[in-house]
Amino acid sequence: MNCHRAGTLVPPYADGEIGGFRRYSIERHLRSCATCAAKYHDVLALRARLRAEATYFKAPPELLTRVRALLADAQAATPARPSPQPDRWRWLTGGALAGCAATVLAWVVGSAVVDWRANQDLAAEAVAIHTRAVLSDHLIEVASSDQHTVKPWLSARLDYSPPVRDMANEGFALSGGRLDTLDKQRVATLVYRYRQHTIDVFVRPESTRAPSTLRTVRGFTIARASGSGMDWLAVSDVSADVLSAFVQRLARADVSQ
Ligand SMILES: [Zn+2]
């Protein structure tokens, strides 16, 4: 075994993923080659540091479900196995394919975690804005149940025009609107009354298709929907099913005007 071959095998060997003759060969090489042995010890040291210093958080069940769904998608998208090839080619391409699969897996899991974190942060930020607005005198900047008053007021202060509609006939009376900063962006907030509850709906242009998610943060429900080219995020202390149905209804194309 030469140093080049040993170099590619050091990380999987350190992870205990290599057996049989290859294991025997690399062990023999590491005993006789100081350079590769040093590389091997670097890998072990890095792994120990990651274990000791990395930040861990307990993954919630919904993240696990999402990762499983993504993995199932990735598996479905993997092309069928190629027809049998001579052994030497199988040997060479096997390593490359395993490397690709590991990269894809890392990317899939990594982006699921990033998405989940972003969603968590957005929900927490929305709840903070909502509670601050309800507790202060800053709930409404333009007080009107008339969508023809609220919409122009918001549009004049933003670089987009949020769809606005009073839904009093369905129990959700438009009280007015205000401007907020959500996710580092100026956004329109529509304020509705539902029985004794206040509902804030943050409306902003859709950048990527927002997942229709529902979650609870500090006792508040957050429901999200996509539609009419907008990302709709509603926060309130009403029940999850009511809020979810309401935000879906708002986001539906026939509602926008
Ligand atoms: Zn070597």
C-alpha 99 to ligand 1 mean position (Å): 21
C-alpha 3 to ligand 1 mean position (Å): 4
C-alpha 7 to ligand 1 mean position (Å): 7
C-alpha 22 to ligand 1 mean position (Å): 14
Whole-number pLDDT of residue 67: 73
Residue 257 has pLDDT above 50, yes or no: no
- Give the tens place of pLDDT for each residue, 13-65: 988 888 888 899 999 999 999 999 998 998 888 878 777 765 555 666 777 77
In which band, very low, low, confident or very high, does the pLDDT at 194 lie, cut at 50, 70 and 90?
Answer: very high
Mean pLDDT value across the chain: 83
What secondary structure, in 3-state letters, does the chain show?
Answer: CCHHHHHHHHHHHHCCCCCHHHHHHHHHHHHHCHHHHHHHHHHHHHHHHHHHHCCCCCCCHHHHHHHHHHHHHHHHHCCCCCCCCCHHHHHHHHHHHHHHHHHHHHHHHHHHHHHHHHHHHHHHHHHHHHHHHHHCCCCCCEECCCHHHHHHHHHHHCCCCCCCCCEHHHCEEEEEEEEEEECCEEEEEEEEEECCEEEEEEEEECCCCCCCCEEEECCEEEEEEEECCEEEEEEECCCHHHHHHHHHHHHCHHHCC
Residue 103 has pLDDT above 70, yes or no: no
Whole-number pLDDT of residue 50: 73
Whole-number pLDDT of residue 175: 93
C-alpha 198 to ligand 1 mean position (Å): 68
Residue 104 has pLDDT above 80, yes or no: no
The residue-averaged pLDDT of 93-121 equals 68
Whole-number pLDDT of residue 79: 58
C-alpha 1 to ligand 1 mean position (Å): 8
C-alpha 46 to ligand 1 mean position (Å): 19
C-alpha 233 to ligand 1 mean position (Å): 57
User: pTM higher than 0.85, yes or no?
Assistant: no
C-alpha 13 to ligand 1 mean position (Å): 14
Percent of the chain with pLDDT over 90: 42
